[in-house]
Amino acid sequence: MSSLDTVKVFDLKGNGIPISDLWKDRKAVVAFARHFGCVLCRKRADYLASKKDIMDAAGVTLVLIGPGSVEQAKTFAEQTKFQGDPTHSSYEALKFVSGVLTTFTPNAGLKIIQLYMEGYRQDWKLSFEKDTVTRGGWKQGGIIVAGPGKNNVSYIHKLALNQIENPWHISHYVDKGFHGSLTSLYGCVNSSTVVAMADKKKRRRVEDDGAQLPFKNQLKADSAILQILKDLCNSSSSASSTSSTALTLQDLSLPFSCREVTDLSLSSVQSSIESLALSIARSILSGQGFSFDVPSRSAANQLYVPELDRIVLKDKTALRPFANISTVRKSTVTTRILQLIHQLCLKNIHVTKRDLFYTDVKLFQDQTQSDAVLDDVSCMLGCTRSSLNVVAAEKGVVVGRLIFSDNGDMIDCTKMGMGGKAIPPNIDRVGDMQSDALFILLVEKDAAYMRLAEDRFYNRFPCIIVTAKGQPDVATRLFLRKMKMELKLPVLALVDSDPYGLKILSVYGCGSKNMSYDSANLTTPDIKWLGVRPSDLDKYKIPEQCRLPMTEQDIKTGKDLLEEDFVKKNPGWVEELTLMVKTKQKAEIQALSTFGFQYLSEVYLPLKLQQKDWL
């Protein structure tokens, strides 16, 4: 390296030092910054500063050089030792290129934006300040490993111009060392290699290892994970066979009566409506007017029954008289809904809730009002909502190892593309379910579902993936229960780490308060909470910038959930929810994408399954 013989750099006191003196009597890592104000270099300096103790213990000296003045170098003094090179002579000797268009690529720009948002604030005046040469501060960076001995340069590495350093690539060098004695290297821009004294194949192997996703090295062979899933599947099947007769309300000696609905035929629904209409007519003709005796669906009339592990509705009713100013409108809406359902029974056709709303928009005013009365009518008649031939629009989707018939047509859910098969709104027409899956994966959100579907996660680990894309709809809840009961498969849930994710999980498992009267048909027993759980945020080292602060409403919702009996029944849920409220942090499933878009399917879920990490 004779080209470095005459090169000097300057310490923070302004003293000129021959660059080769930096490693004359010691092993040294000399890192060359792109320019002093660069947020990428600030990130690099932060990283190096955190590893300086390790390097000191290994007898390795760390030196950073930047293309600027001594005053500019002092900016970094608090982080690590820095040398200034006002004339860029060391950069010229090593043939580092320069220029903003050469070194500042679009990828680097995106990285700057990312780091800026993380809190690294760039000093723009310093960044673009002209120094002792006319080119400005834009230089290609690099690294030298040298010493002891002036001419003992064992490693030269120039940073590529078009890639950003993967932090796990840096960690590889920190953890495994280099050339036996170096225990830490720096990185900011991913290197594509102008390296002396390194074999090309070995270099590629090191880079591949460094690019590994975090915790991926903890994964066992897929065959080992598959065996765990087979054991889980067999256990679930055995449990289902043992308790073939499900416990019902009639089996319990509760101190109060409850109201539950069942599937009724169209003729039975029609007869019930006609009988109700006749009783109303008699009441009107007798001069008493009329009113509906509607089951109360208020929170005070609902109860969680631990033996059933679901919410039930007590048998308390409230009068809804027509001749009352506070209830006249709702009585009118109830009458109209009954009339429309009677027409559906006569014609034997199905409509959506939206169709029902648009039959009388001026009366209903808002679909939430017609939907609420529809539930009231279902409860009054003692039948499930699907018995009324009113369905919700298709929302949920399913993909994976499942074949079923839909109104006579056989559907193979492995051949439905990335979007999967829409769950039919008429579940009574779904039958003949067949599957070689080992479990059902219930996913809260469409984004996570799409990731798993595109990666064909169900081929690596045989499963059925289902989502309602947020709040569970009736069809998806019915479909999930049907799969669980017919296929006898365990159900694992993947939801956001926030109070609403847990509420969604509880709706699938214990039922919703709005439809507590039909919880026997809509709930799926023994759903296991796989993730994302509050404890996972630290366990998987989710970065702070990917976590969200909980709002006051979030915290209130979390505390309210802690008071629910269905949460108290599960100590693991209590522990996780308490941690969430304490840390006041939440995170979405997509926070895992910070490690890579496929981290969810390639590492997180396989590791969760391997560790049997579910509640």
Catalytic residue set: 358
Contacts of 82 (CB under 8 A, 6+ apart): 12, 63, 64, 65, 66, 73, 74, 76
Between CA 257 and CA 260, with CA 258 as vertex, the angle to 5 degrees is 145
Whole-number Cα distances in Å, 113 to 40, 98, 118, 270, 286: 10, 22, 9, 64, 77
Q: Report whether 496 belongs to an annotated binding site.
A: yes
Helices (H), 488-587: 499-510, 519-522, 534-539, 552-562, 565-568, 571-583
Give the list of residues 6+ apart from residue 334 with CB closer than 8 angstroms, or none.
292, 294, 320, 373, 376, 377
- Only one residue has tokens 């800026």, namely 116
Phi/psi at 60 (nearest 5 deg)?
Answer: -110, 130
User: How many angstroms separate the CA atoms of 283 and 127, rounded?
Assistant: 86
444 in a known ligand binding site: yes
Q: What share of the chain is helix, strand, coil (3-state, %, to 5)?
A: 45, 20, 35
Residue 445: other Cβ atoms inside 10 A: 20
Q: Supply the DSSP string of 263-288, one letter for each residue.
A: ---HHHHHHHHHHHHHHHHHHHHTT-
Measured from the Cβ of residue 179, the count of other Cβ atoms closer than 10 Å reads: 10
Q: Residue 51: which of 159, 170, 169, 142 has the closest Cα?
A: 170
Comparing CA positions, the residue from 401, 398, 540 lying closest to residue 460 is 401
Residue 354 makes CB contacts below 8 A (sequence gap 6+) with: 367, 393
> What string of H, E and C letters represents the secondary structure of 185-223?
CCCCCCCCCCCECCCHHHHHHHHHHHCCCCCHHHCCCHH
CA neighbor of 337 nearest in space, from 279, 297, 277: 277
Map residue 137 onto helix, strand or coil: coil
- Whose structure tokens read 């996913």? 443
132: region left, alpha or beta (phi > 0 left; psi from -120 to 50 alpha): alpha
8 A C-beta contact, residue 228 and residue 220: no
Contact 614, 530 (CB under 8 A): yes
Per the listing, tokens 């001419």 go with: 151
Which class for 210: exposed (0-12), middle (13-18), buried (19 or more C-beta within 10 A)?
A: buried
61 phi and psi, to 5 degrees? -95, 135
Annotate 420-457 with three-state secondary structure: CEECCCCHHHEEEEECCCCEEEEECCHHHHHHHHHCCH
User: What 3-state DSSP class applies to 494?
Assistant: strand
Which residues make up each annotated binding site for Mg(2+)? Answer: 444, 496
Which residues make up each annotated binding site? Answer: 444, 496
